[in-house]
């Protein structure tokens, strides 16, 4: 049974930080949120994550853990009395990890490609690739959920957290681009899943409002043409 | 009921070696299907439609992809022997963090050395040595990254030792001179049968890399 001091270094607008918040909420674990200011890195961050210098960092009893998905697995390993985040079956765990890596390494970079795209042709190409990726994830959802509400089954799990954390920025992109990326026509299951995910108790107070994210997006675009990539 | 375990592999792949070492540590019998990466089999394209890459472990007909995923799967299924991940959650998180670091940095930087030239190659050489020094720091005075026992992080890194000859020859530098502790650790790992049996001949790997470069129209 884990007790002890839990601090989270992060910023509310970062989907990677949101992942950790959701995981801690699932475990009903209290924590101190240490907000990093946009555009600067605190001494504590640089000391706790000297390798990547990025948020989120979980500091548990003064020991830092870095990389959002490593942190989520750590939370699941430590707080064992709460609901499980990773599936119990080894094969299902491997599949959840596989798709989480796909989201991080293949799909989310396409969103960044869209934000940086110059000209209609580049934008259209990025939108098409994002759409294709979402169709792949729609198929993954059908296989993983096995007819239930979430990738993780009856309740939110590892892959729901990994992919769902990007829904805030997905909505911003849709609103600002006046387009639909997640559509009823092509990805009906994901549309419903997204609704359920965002309403879940562990998630609903975590994402900043879309308007707030749009504000932040505009600031970052003005600075370097891209929203948080850490 | 016997387990059916098949590994789709390529002999020179450090990622494939990770899986072979893990299976050997657990004493699991398996069949290898060697893939020609320039002519991928229909089976590979079927079991890994997303990435079309090796290694793929097929356990009783179910495919698992991505080498570190596969190693964790092997550790979770064959629990009886040689635990690979630490039992302590914090140590486990550290092992996963560094394995992720290795995956993000080493192969890509290595490619810039064995495929690159001029300034790009020089920059990549410096970067690689920095990465190896960070890993030496993490190793410290321990015999293995896992402590007294060979484990997950050792498995994640040691296959890249088979590429050192390639890196040093194409890059014209000595990794041992800059990172003696790391090389000593790699040699220690090679004393284990699970590692030595799946370790490709570094000279053959070098020839292979040159062949691939030629096919890709490099140099």
For residues A141 and A213, state if they share a domain. Answer: yes
Please tell me the total count of domains within chain A.
Answer: 2
Domain membership flag for residue A168: yes
Are the CB atoms for A62 and A4 separated by under 8 Å? no
- Packed helices B202-215 and B164-171: angle between N→C axes, nearest 10 degrees: 60
If we measure between CA atoms, which residue out of A31, A102, A105, A112 comes closest to residue A65?
A31
Q: What CATH number is associated with residue A50?
A: 3.40.30.10
- Cβ of A70 and B96 within 8 Å? yes
For residues B120 and B53, state if they share a domain. Answer: no
If we measure between CA atoms, which residue out of B157, B146, B40, B66 comes closest to residue A97?
B66
Domain membership flag for residue A85: no
- Cβ of A91 and B93 within 8 Å? no
Q: What CATH number is associated with residue A106?
A: 1.20.1050.10
Domain that holds residue B134: 89-215
- Give the pLDDT band of residue A55 (cuts 50, 70, 90): very high
**Domain end point (choices B47, B77, B107):** B77
Nearest to B64 among A51, A74, A94 (CB): A94
Is some CB atom of chain A closer than 8 A to the CB atom of B70?
A: yes
> Could you report the per-residue pLDDT of A15-26, keeping only the tens digit for each?
999 999 999 999
Q: Classify strands A6-10 and A32-35 as parallel, antiparallel or unpaired.
A: parallel
Helix residue ranges, H only, B26-171: 42-47, 67-77, 89-114, 118-139, 152-157, 164-171
The residue behind tokens 């000391």 is A47
Please tell me the total count of domains within chain B.
Answer: 2
> Could you report the per-residue pLDDT of B9-54, keeping only the tens digit for each?
999 999 999 999 999 999 999 999 999 999 999 999 999 999 999 9
pLDDT of residue A228: 63
Q: Classify strands B56-59 and B5-9 as parallel, antiparallel or unpaired.
A: antiparallel
Domain that holds residue A74: 6-78
Nearest to B97 among A66, A78, A106 (CB): A66
> Could you report the per-residue pLDDT of A126-158, keeping only the tens digit for each?
999 999 999 999 999 999 999 999 999 999 999
Q: Helix, strand, or coil here: B155?
A: helix
Domain membership flag for residue A213: yes
If we measure between CA atoms, which residue out of B93, B100, B106 comes closest to residue B159?
B106
- Tell me which chain B residue has its CA closest to the CA of residue A103: B50
Write down the ipTM of this complex.
Answer: 0.94
């Amino acid at each position: 049974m884990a007790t002890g001091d839990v601090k989270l270094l992060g910023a509310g607008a970062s989907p990677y930080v949101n992942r950790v918040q959701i995981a801690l909420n699932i475990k009903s674990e209290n924590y101190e949120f240490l907000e990093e200011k946009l555009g600067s890195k605190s001494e504590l961050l640089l000391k706790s994550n000297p390798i990547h210098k990025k948020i989120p960092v979980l500091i548990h009893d003064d020991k830092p853990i870095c990389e959002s998905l490593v942190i989520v697995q750590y939370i699941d390993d430590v707080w064992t009395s709460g609901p499980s985040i990773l599936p119990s079956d080894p094969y299902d765990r491997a599949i959840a990890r596989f798709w989480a890596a796909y989201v991080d390494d293949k799909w989310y970079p396409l969103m960044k490609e869209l934000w940086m795209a110059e000209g209609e042709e580049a934008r259209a190409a990025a939108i098409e690739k994002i759409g294709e990726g979402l169709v792949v994830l729609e198929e993954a959802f059908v296989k993983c959920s096995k007819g239930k509400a979430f990738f993780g089954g009856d309740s939110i799990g590892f892959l729901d957290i990994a992919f769902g954390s990007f829904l805030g920025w997905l909505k911003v992109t849709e609103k600002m681009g006046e387009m639909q990326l997640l559509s009823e026509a092509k990805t009906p299951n994901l549309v419903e899943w997204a609704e359920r995910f965002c309403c879940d108790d562990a998630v609903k107070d975590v994402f900043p409002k879309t308007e707030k994210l749009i504000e932040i997006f505009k600031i970052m675009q003005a600075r370097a043409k891209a929203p948080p990539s850490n | 009921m016997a387990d059916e375990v098949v590994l789709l592999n390529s002999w020179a792949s450090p990622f494939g070696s990770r899986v072979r070492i893990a299976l050997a540590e657990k004493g699991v019998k398996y069949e290898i299907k060697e893939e020609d990466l320039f002519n991928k089999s229909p089976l590979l394209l079927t079991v890994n439609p997303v990435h079309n890459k090796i290694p793929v472990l097929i356990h009783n007909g179910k495919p698992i992809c991505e080498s570190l995923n596969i190693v964790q799967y092997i550790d979770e299924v064959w629990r009886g022997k040689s635990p690979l991940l630490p039992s302590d959650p914090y140590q486990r998180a550290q092992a996963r963090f560094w394995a992720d670091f290795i995956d993000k940095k080493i192969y890509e930087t290595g490619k810039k050395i064995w495929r690159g030239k001029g300034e790009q190659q020089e920059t990549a050489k410096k970067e690689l040595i920095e990465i190896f020094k960070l890993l030496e720091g993490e190793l410290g005075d321990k015999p293995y990254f896992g402590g007294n026992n060979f484990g997950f992080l050792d498995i994640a890194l040691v296959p890249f030792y088979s590429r050192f000859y390639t890196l040093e020859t194409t890059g014209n530098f000595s990794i041992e001179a800059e990172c003696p502790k790391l090389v000593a650790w790699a040699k220690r790992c090679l004393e284990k049968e699970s590692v030595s049996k799946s370790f490709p001949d570094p000279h053959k790997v070098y020839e292979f890399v040159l062949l691939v470069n030629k096919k890709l129209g490099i140099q």
